Amino acid sequence: MHRGRSVFSQVMDYFPEREFQSIVERYEGNKWVQSFTCRSHFNVMAFAQLTGRESLRDIETCLAANSRHLHHMGIQSGVSRNNLAHANETRDWRIYRDVALLLIGLARRLYAGEPLDVDLSNAIYAFDSTTVELCLSLFPWASFRKTKAGIKMHTSVDVRGNIPSFIHITDAKQHDVNALDEIAFEPGAYYLVDRGYLDFKRLYGISAAGSFFVTRAKKNTLFRRRYSSPVDKALGLRSDQQGVLCGVKAPKQYPAPVRRVTYRDPKTDKRLCFLTNSMLIPAIDVCRLYKMRWQVELFFKWIKQHLRIKRFLGTSQNAVHVQIWIAIATYTLVAILIKELRLTKSMYDVLQFLSVSIFEKALIIEVFSETVPESKTENRLIQGELLL
């Protein structure tokens, strides 16, 4: 039986240690730090994410109960609530943002070959935002409404692997469409957005960057058809048209041709109208691409349910950013683990396995094995025969 390193230590084997130290040096993260370094800070916060700890006292008690394992997990023994709270308040959150973005880059390369419902080799991103509501009396810097505080996560998800490729955190008052100004659009990539981002000036910016967009039209969107292409109505398609935008402002904001595809959903009998600047892909692929936009909604739902970003371990803006970025880094690290170990389990299942076996000293691949050890199987059969 394996008696070596803990499961947590083996998870951290996939953490880019050298690059992390370079990031820490860049922001002088360990300056004036005597013992509780940025690496220990990250490990403790990642441990809290993997095991579902929801308060400073919860983390302190759990680590104290397993103090004999902490050294081998890269966590300094005697972690106190005060040390952790102080680190969340004072450590530069950009350290953990940069390491999360580094892990995202590693994960995206691993998932680059994931199959999709459309025959496209282009990068495909689903973009949207979600609001995390906070208590106004505890988070006065995150003003949202008269009685509420909140922050907003503007996120672009690579649909291959459901890996976030862009995250921008703002106060909840900021309109969703403004976040498009923060993205460096990738030439040849597809960006899937809902009707909340129907700003033709910004959509033209996507087109001018050599990228493609797919979105839904609003009822009052004026469009002049120039010509139509035949469609297969058996697939639910109703029209495939190319033309220009009409109205007072739209033609000036988006002077280029645009494509409009209409589709009738056979389940709901609802008629959907899509706009895109991609003129060559099949019309049915335009509909399938927009359906993939739901990936970002599932990502938001998943992280709110399974990562600890609804209850924060600090009330300052820095502490909130630290917790969110370490949560994203932990999520991405587990995604890398799944790919490297070639696991067939879902992210949810893997996190559940890790949460109950984090202190075990067993080979990590054995933790996810569903087979029963041969010796135990033989013993069970012998006992059954004796009972007969």
Q: Which residues of the chain have pLDDT under 50?
A: 1-2, 371-388
- Note down the domain range covering 259: 194-292
Please check whether residue 337 lies inside any domain of the structure: no
Tens-digit pLDDT profile for residues 276-334: 999 999 999 999 999 999 989 888 887 777 666 667 888 889 998 999 999 999 989 99
Please check whether residue 310 lies inside any domain of the structure: no
Angle between helices 38-51 and 81-90 (to 10 degrees): 110
Closest CA to 16 of 49, 45, 39: 39
Please check whether residue 118 lies inside any domain of the structure: no
pTM above 0.85, yes or no: no
Tens-digit pLDDT profile for residues 143-173: 788 778 888 889 999 998 888 888 898 888 8
**216-233: burial string, b at 16+ Cβ within 10 Å, e else:** bbeeebebeeeeeeebee
Please check whether residue 266 lies inside any domain of the structure: yes
Please check whether residue 231 lies inside any domain of the structure: yes
| Contact (Cβ atoms closer than 8 angstroms) between residue 289 and residue 235 | no
Count structural domains, the chain.
1
Please check whether residue 62 lies inside any domain of the structure: no
Please check whether residue 332 lies inside any domain of the structure: no
Please check whether residue 163 lies inside any domain of the structure: no
